[in-house]
Every structure is written in structure tokens, then in C-alpha cells.
Amino acid sequence: MAMASPAIFLSYFQIDQYLLRHCAYFSQYLDAREKDELVRRRFLHAQHRSQYIYSRLMLKTMLSDAINVKPRLLRVHTMASGQPKLFASGFGLDNVSLSISHDRDRLLVAAGCRCRIGVDIQIIHGVEWPLVMFAMGWSADVQRCLFEERSRSPGILMTLDSLSALIWAGYESWLKLSGCTATPADFAWNSINLVEKYSVIDCPIYEMRLSDECLYNEARILLMLRSNDALAVATLPS
């Protein structure tokens, strides 16, 4: 089994009405244990079932060529910690880290080969961001970052909502590096800096710099701001 070292694989996906209506059909491509887990979860809504089904199919399709294993021999199993883990021909691949995030009809999945990875996707509109930032104790830091970013990058209109969504996505991606065992008190950042104004898909990319007192402060967190969602990818050397 060949695998690049280290390497990161990402896939972004939006579930349209066709895929939502036909998620039961596509569930046939899950393996027996994945189907058992789907039944055990007892999802009441088609959207939640589709998130489960398509995230796993995306991961297996994305990684099949990378590790030279046919998709039907791959399985994504949820561990007791709640984290997804990749199996190939029944054997767990400890040197591959998986992460899954979804918000409504959007999916973001990732795999890190020989590194830990966490991703998050967060829809911007329709969230009371000032209340969320206040509840997390981040209101003053958000206002500081907003002022600094507007001063550094006047050509990009950063709003309080979009910055809050970026910070939340960055926090969630960092949290997944800890296996979701860390607490908000363990998280602190110094700055959010523009890395690239015009990416391949014409969306600005930022980097969140963690504070020295932050747990896993050696992690790197990249953020992408789109019209109605914020994406975050956190990586940590194995």
C-alpha cells in the first residue's frame, strides 16, 4: 500500500435536492458496518442521513487512488471517541487521520497522512454571532481582530459575522486535533492574517496564529472565507 508522507487531502461538497432524495440508493455503497452504524444512529431527517452517507463515500473515493486501495475495501468507522477512522481490508490505518464536518447542505472532509487533521465548515448567515462570541468569552478579541484585519486588508470587506464564523471554524478544527477533549479555556489565538487575497476559487485565505499558552499551539490553522461559509483546516505533525 503506497502512501505519500506527509500529505493532506480535502474535499468540499454540497448536497443538492437530487442527492438528498436518493441518499437511500447511495447507501448501498456503504459496507456492512457502516450500514449498521447508520441504523444505530436512527437519523430522523434525510439531511442527517445524507450527511453521514455522502461524507463516507467522499472520503473513500478521495483516498482510493491516494493509497492504491479500491473504494469497496475501505471503511470509515466511528470510534468510541466519536472520531472517524479509516480501515482498509479490515485493518485500521493508524497513520491516516480523518475529519468530517457538515453544516446543513455543505460537507467538508479531509484526510491527513502521517499528520493529524481537523476541519470545520460553518455557514455565516442566520447565526447570532455576537451572542456566540459573548458566550465563548471572545467578544473583545473579535473586535480587536476585526479592527486589525480592516487596517491590514482594506480591499477586503471583513464583517463581524464573517470574522466570527472564521474564528468559530478555526476553533472547531483545532478542537478536533485534541479528539474533542480540550475545552474553550485551552484555546487562544493572537491574530488572523491574510495569506492570499485571490485563491484558485477567488476566496481569501487566512492563517490563525495561536497563542503560546494555547494547547497544541504548534498546530497550523488555515481559514477560507466564502460568500456564505467559512472553512478551516487544522494540522498537527504526528
Q: Write the pLDDT tens digit of every residue in 156-206.
A: 678 999 999 999 999 999 999 988 889 999 999 999 998 887 666 678 899
Residue 71 and residue 126 in one domain? no
Last residue of a domain, which of 113, 142, 161? Answer: 113
Last residue of a domain, which of 82, 113, 144? Answer: 113
Full residue range of the structural domain in which residue 59 is found: 7-113
DSSP 40-75: HHT--SHHHHHHHHHHHHHHHHHHHHHHT--GGGEE
Residue 33 and residue 131 in one domain? no
Q: Is 2 among the domain residues?
A: no
Residue 135 and residue 179 in one domain? yes
What does the pLDDT average to over 87-113? 95
Q: Is 200 among the domain residues?
A: yes
Residue 126 and residue 171 in one domain? yes
CATH of the domain at 48: 3.90.470.20
DSSP 19-31: HHHTHHHHGGGS-
Residue 73 and residue 171 in one domain? no
Distances (CA, A) of 216 to 7, 9, 127, 168, 225: 20, 21, 28, 17, 23
Number of domains into which the chain is organized: 2
Confidence bin at 50 (pLDDT 50/70/90): very high
Q: What is the pLDDT of residue 179?
A: 87
Lowest-confidence range among 65-69, 118-122, 138-142? Answer: 65-69
Q: What is the pLDDT of residue 5?
A: 61
Residue 140 and residue 233 in one domain? yes
Residue 109 and residue 145 in one domain? no
Residue 99 and residue 26 in one domain? yes
Q: What is the pLDDT of residue 1?
A: 44
Residue 96 and residue 167 in one domain? no
Number of Cβ within a 10 Å radius of residue 210: 21
Residue 98 and residue 128 in one domain? no
Last residue of a domain, which of 65, 89, 113? Answer: 113
Residue 130 and residue 27 in one domain? no
Q: Is 1 among the domain residues?
A: no
What does the pLDDT average to over 149-153? 79
Q: Helix, strand, coil % (nearest 5) of the chain?
A: 40, 30, 30
Q: Is 174 among the domain residues?
A: yes
CA distance linking residue 45 with residue 37, whole number of Å: 16
